[in-house]
Amino acid sequence: MQEDDILTPPESPKVPLAEASYGATNIQVLDGIEHVRMRPAMYIGDIHSRGLHHLVYEIVDNSIDETLGGFNDYIFVALNIDGSVTVIDHGRGIPVDLHAEKQKSALELVMTVIGAGGKFDKGAYKVSGGLHGVGASVVNALSEWCEVEVSRDGNIYFQRYERGVPQCGVKIIGSSDQRGTKTTFMPDNTIFKTTEFRKDIIVDRMRELAFLNKELRIIVQDSEGEQEVFHYEGGIKEFVLFTDQNRINLLKEPIYLYGERDSTIVEIALQYNDSYQENVFSYVNNINTHEGGTHVTGFRKALTRTLNAYAQKNDLLKNLKLALTGDDFKEGLTAVISVKVAEPQFEGQTKTKLGNSETQSTVESVVNEQLAEFAESNPNVLKMIIEKVKGAAMSREAARKAKELTRRKSVLESSGLPGKLADCSINDPEHCELYIVEGDSAGGSAKQGRDRSFQAILPLKGKILNVEKARLHKMLENEEIKTIILALGTSFGEEEFSVEKLRYGKIIIMTDADVDGAHIRTLLLTFFFRYMRSLIEAGRVFIAQPPLYLVKSGKDQQYAWDDDERNSISEGMKKMQKGKANIHIQRYKGLGEMNPEQLWSTTMDPAHRSLLLVNVQNAMEADQVFSTLMGDKVEPRREFIEKNARYVRRLDV
């Protein structure tokens, strides 16, 4: 199959999905892009993998804008064999006519001028995604080359750019009775630290967009021509089912709420499951609002008020001596909140928190009205939900008593620190590190080998509780978890937890390179993800990377971190000694097998160690991984292991 054949999408509709004027007069020019290449992180976040993939999202967002306007039902994303990416849609096609003020083609302005785009003109898009409307021009500026083909008005228009500079005028290269835009770009390797796109990252975002836009079909194709198709007629209801596929759901199908108020569209799907965690994913114009905002606040208030009122009215709380709170309705809740707002106002550290005050009342109104109607029509469903909420309320009260008890015992809030903690001497958190170490043997080596001025050691005894399967009060009764909370100094719980109180700039998980060590590491990561996720989001959690082997030949000794490195070192030693080397290989199954000097030089010395930063690029994907590996269902865990076994590089059974 030829590359041209691979990239040929199905024919687009010859008649627009919706009729609207869209030409050069809709393109408003704001500013140039002179410093994009000099300061790329200002526009895409960073110049590593995250920023690289953001380039794809910026181009796709333009296609999504066409979808939101009712003009597009198809997006094709191809990861090409040469490292470039192609994005094709069936939208109206970027305007190509002459812009009256700038006397240039609208296509050239869109591709070369920051802020030149239809989303700044209310007549072109009533609702648009993306935060700043700078996408195509920034992608172009950060690409070694970029080519755009626009099919509209019976012609195919073309322009090529190199590092943002047009190499020709906009010209007609053919005729077509289709419409749409095809953009192909090659990221500039003089700017990005990596230019290798990962299909799994692209797939996650495209799947998410397909859930949020049920009329949309998205195809992702890899460099070998293999395709994945995403199209969900059930929309966000299927989103909830996908998220909860590894949990036991309490309801036969998610509750779906939809309403329009004052040009704002509200769409919500929710489900309760047997877990003890809450998973709420919120979106504004397809933008993932990680920090929540007024739409989430409106949902929570309405959910609590409506369900509480129903329970009171139908005498479902007669055996409960506690008043229900908003927190009680969170346990086991999975929800997707998607709102379409004409002029969203974003705030927060990452500009992903909705600030529109009117949106809160709109969401509250829709949820109050539609959830009340659902409740009256589905009494059995509501009874199951209220029983779940009552259990959460009793757990909350038990957790409160456990916290009070531990406080009295100076476990959570006191000036005292755990006796097993070997603390560091300096007090500046930004320069302090806490190593959470498996077992007393490794803890002993770490304590002796560390730099006492800035490295603290906290050895754990055995495995901590699997918080995926335990309610809050059970977790707070676990001695190892209480010790970790006290050592960190952050306090605990939504109202009391504070990243600013963290006593260490780095939290480093250091476990053995065997099955038990991997299990302990996963248990710790589950705890941090479920109850202290902001530490991960702040870039405070790391995984130590101790070597697996010590390779010796005479006085020459070198460490190896995997089998390939071990073999390479061995071969090198044989060559140096002309095949007469007597090579001895020591396999480290536990950190305790290293003496303090070895542990320091390989794993703890900042000048030579390798730390793996724990991050969460996709909360939905991370939630699924933890629920799969640590939840109650066995079959999804078996399938996950079978699917990913070929990627395992270190396995000790």
Convert the pLDDT of each residue in 610-650 to its tens digit: 898 988 765 556 666 666 666 655 565 555 454 544 444 44
pLDDT band at 257, cuts 50/70/90? Answer: very high
Picking from 52, 58, 107, the residue whose alpha carbon sits closest to that of residue 84 is 52
**What tokens appear for 102 in the block?**
């700038």
Convert the pLDDT of each residue in 212-236 to its tens digit: 999 999 999 999 999 999 999 999 9
Domains 236-401 and 420-546+612-647 share a fold: no
Residue 138: is it exposed, middle or buried by C-beta count within 10 angstroms (0-12/13-18/19+)? buried
Asked whether the beta carbons of 293 and 282 are under 8 A apart, the reply is: yes
Report the residue count for the chain.
Answer: 653
What pLDDT, on the 0 to 100 scale, is given for residue 207? 96
What does DSSP assign to residue 420? T
- Is a pLDDT exceeding 60 seen at residue 572? yes
Every domain of the chain and the residues it spans: 3-230, 236-401, 420-546+612-647
Active site residues: 438, 512, 514, 516
Maximum mean pLDDT: which of 125-139, 395-409, 539-553: 539-553
For range 133-160, the mean pLDDT: 92
Class of domain 236-401: alpha beta
Question: What DSSP element (H or E) covers 384?
Answer: helix 379-408
Convert the pLDDT of each residue in 294-328 to its tens digit: 999 999 999 999 999 999 999 999 888 888 999 99
- Is a pLDDT exceeding 80 seen at residue 532? yes
What pLDDT, on the 0 to 100 scale, is given for residue 631? 61
What pLDDT, on the 0 to 100 scale, is given for residue 309? 95
Convert the pLDDT of each residue in 11-31 to its tens digit: 555 545 555 667 776 665 444
What CATH number was assigned to the domain covering residues 3-230?
A: 3.30.565.10
Query: Phi first, then psi: what are they for 169, rounded to 5°?
Result: -75, 170
- Percent with pLDDT over 70 in the chain: 83
For range 574-593, the mean pLDDT: 82
Distance (Å, whole) CA 358 – CA 60: 29
DSSP string, 545-614: ---SEEEEETTEEEEESSHHHHHHHHHHHHHHTTT----EEEE--SGGGS-HHHHIIIII-TTT--EEEP
What pLDDT, on the 0 to 100 scale, is given for residue 515? 76
- Is a pLDDT exceeding 90 seen at residue 87? yes
pLDDT band at 374, cuts 50/70/90? Answer: very high
pLDDT band at 461, cuts 50/70/90? Answer: confident
For range 566-583, the mean pLDDT: 83
Residue 261: is it exposed, middle or buried by C-beta count within 10 angstroms (0-12/13-18/19+)? middle
Across 283-287, 319-323, 507-511, least confident range: 319-323
- Looking up tokens 């479902």 gives 316
pLDDT band at 415, cuts 50/70/90? Answer: very low
- For residue 45, how many C-alpha atoms fall within 13 Å in the half-sphere facing its CB? 16
Picking from 391, 385, 422, 449, the residue whose alpha carbon sits closest to that of residue 600 is 449
For range 358-371, the mean pLDDT: 96
Query: Phi first, then psi: what are they for 221, rounded to 5°?
Result: -120, 130
What pLDDT, on the 0 to 100 scale, is given for residue 6? 44
Distance (Å, whole) CA 246 – CA 222: 27
Which CATH fold topology does 420-546+612-647 show? Rossmann fold (3.40.50)
What does DSSP assign to residue 422? B
Which residue type occupies 141?
A
What pLDDT, on the 0 to 100 scale, is given for residue 407? 54
